């Protein structure tokens, strides 16, 4: 089979992690950044992350073999010529994405897939006037995609079904878990679900029902135990002997009355300052980076655990 080739544009947090995803799947990767310093720092940082993966037995080849597939490129044209897929990861600024996608449409092979990692900008906001707009889509990862497999594929109204199907096959071949958003919607799926949980957690906090630490515990030691391996629908299906309809007949009324008392959170500064003070007391600002590395190691341990279970099943 011919080696797949990818271009990663923007070598910040997300771009570097995508480079690892593609390279560890055997794809050739060209990586580009408008900042020379970011581009220079990319390979050493990627190597360090791949070494971390190796320490958790999460890669099947030597670190050097994976890193060697990634080539930094100083010009956009050299980065994207001849690739099968471009993964864009520049700043979350719609005008910058619009300019870049126009360039990508001009500089790539006509059948290359053009995907954006944007967290919140629908593809229709930056691809409308392009000749090749049918091959553009959002492929929204979770930070970092090298440790969290979900990728949300969401086209604009003019993205072709063939593009979405090809993208799904491509990300599956890269070892990710693609889902398709059937109609364009801001926030896609993950951030809408995360937003709903955050909204309620912040609202309960604002109204003084619990401390931030206890609300985090509710998620970590309660809901997230199941949610780390099954979704909310499978969860309720198993929580009543007759499945989802039985669950709704038992608890639907409770959820309806909770919904009637829900107070949406309007992100007021005073509540966020209070939350920040509580968080800074347990994690000073200068230790956020170190704790993020700890989070990534926990994710690696979780991935290793999932892999071991898969081998057993």
Ligand X SMILES: NC(=O)c1ccc[n+]([C@@H]2O[C@H](COP(=O)([O-])OP(=O)(O)OC[C@H]3O[C@@H](n4cnc5c(N)ncnc54)[C@H](O)[C@@H]3O)[C@@H](O)[C@H]2O)c1
Interface residues with ligand X (CB under 6 A) are 9-15, 33-35, 38, 89-92, 96, 100, 117-119, 140-141, 143
Is the separation of the CB atoms in 69 and 23 below 8 Å? yes
Q: Which residue is nearest to ligand X (CB)?
A: 12
Q: Quote the CA–CA distance of 183 and 189 in Å, as a whole number.
A: 11
Of the two residues 14 and 53, which places its CB atom closer to ligand X in the complex? 14
Of the two residues 10 and 122, which places its CB atom closer to ligand X in the complex? 10
Is the separation of the CB atoms in 84 and 112 below 8 Å? yes
Supply the minimum distance, in Å, between the C-beta of residue 72 and ligand X: 12
Q: Strand 136-141: give its sheet, edge to edge.
A: 70-72, 28-32, 5-9, 85-88, 113-116, 136-141, 150-155, 177-181
Q: Quote the CA–CA distance of 40 and 11 in Å, as a whole number.
A: 9
Of the two residues 33 and 52, which places its CB atom closer to ligand X in the complex? 33
Q: Quote the CA–CA distance of 116 and 96 in Å, as a whole number.
A: 12
Locate 275 and state its tokens. Answer: 């939350």
Supply the minimum distance, in Å, between the C-beta of residue 34 and ligand X: 4
The conformation of residue 34, written as its DSSP 8-state character, comes to S
Of the two residues 138 and 247, which places its CB atom closer to ligand X in the complex? 138
Supply the minimum distance, in Å, between the C-beta of residue 192 and ligand X: 14
Is the separation of the CB atoms in 130 and 103 below 8 Å? no
Supply the minimum distance, in Å, between the C-beta of residue 84 and ligand X: 20
Of the two residues 153 and 206, which places its CB atom closer to ligand X in the complex? 153
Supply the minimum distance, in Å, between the C-beta of residue 86 and ligand X: 11
Of the two residues 27 and 126, which places its CB atom closer to ligand X in the complex? 126
SS3 253: helix
Of the two residues 64 and 95, which places its CB atom closer to ligand X in the complex? 95
Locate 41 and state its tokens. Answer: 């720092």
Supply the minimum distance, in Å, between the C-beta of residue 43 and ligand X: 14
Q: Quote the CA–CA distance of 45 and 72 in Å, as a whole number.
A: 13
**CA angle at 127 for the pair 170 and 9, rounded to the nearest 5°:** 55
Supply the minimum distance, in Å, between the C-beta of residue 258 and ligand X: 30
């Amino acid at each position: 089979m011919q080696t797949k080739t990818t271009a990663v544009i923007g070598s910040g947090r997300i771009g570097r992690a995508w480079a690892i995803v593609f390279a560890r799947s055997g794809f050739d990767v060209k990586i580009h950044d408008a900042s020379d310093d970011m581009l220079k720092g990319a390979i050493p940082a990627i190597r360090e992350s791949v070494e971390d993966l190796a320490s958790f037995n999460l890669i099947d080849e030597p670190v050097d073999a994976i890193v060697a597939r990634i080539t930094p490129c100083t010009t956009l044209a050299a980065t994207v010529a001849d690739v099968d897929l471009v993964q864009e990861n520049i700043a979350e600024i719609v005008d910058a994405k619009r300019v870049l996608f126009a360039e990508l449409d001009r500089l790539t092979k006509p059948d290359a897939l053009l995907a954006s990692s944007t967290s919140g900008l629908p593809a229709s906001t930056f691809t409308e006037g392009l000749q090749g707009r049918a091959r553009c889509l959002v492929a929204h990862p979770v930070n970092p995609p090298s440790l969290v497999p979900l990728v949300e594929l969401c086209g604009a109204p003019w993205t072709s079904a063939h593009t979405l199907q090809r993208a799904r096959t491509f990300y599956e071949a890269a070892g990710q878990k693609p889902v398709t958003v059937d109609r364009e919607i801001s926030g896609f799926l993950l951030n809408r679900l995360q937003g709903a949980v955050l909204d309620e957690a912040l609202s309960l906090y604002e109204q003084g029902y619990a401390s931030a630490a206890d609300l985090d515990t509710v998620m970590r030691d309660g809901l997230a135990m199941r949610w780390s391996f099954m979704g909310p629908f499978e969860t309720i299906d198993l929580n009543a002997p007759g499945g989802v309809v039985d669950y709704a007949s038992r608890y639907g009324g409770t959820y309806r009355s909770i919904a009637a008392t829900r107070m949406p959170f309007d992100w007021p500064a005073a509540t966020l300052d209070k939350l920040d003070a509580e968080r800074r007391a347990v994690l000073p600002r200068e230790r956020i980076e170190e704790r993020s590395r700890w989070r990534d190691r926990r994710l690696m341990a979780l991935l290793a655990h999932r892999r071991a279970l898969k081998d057993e099943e």
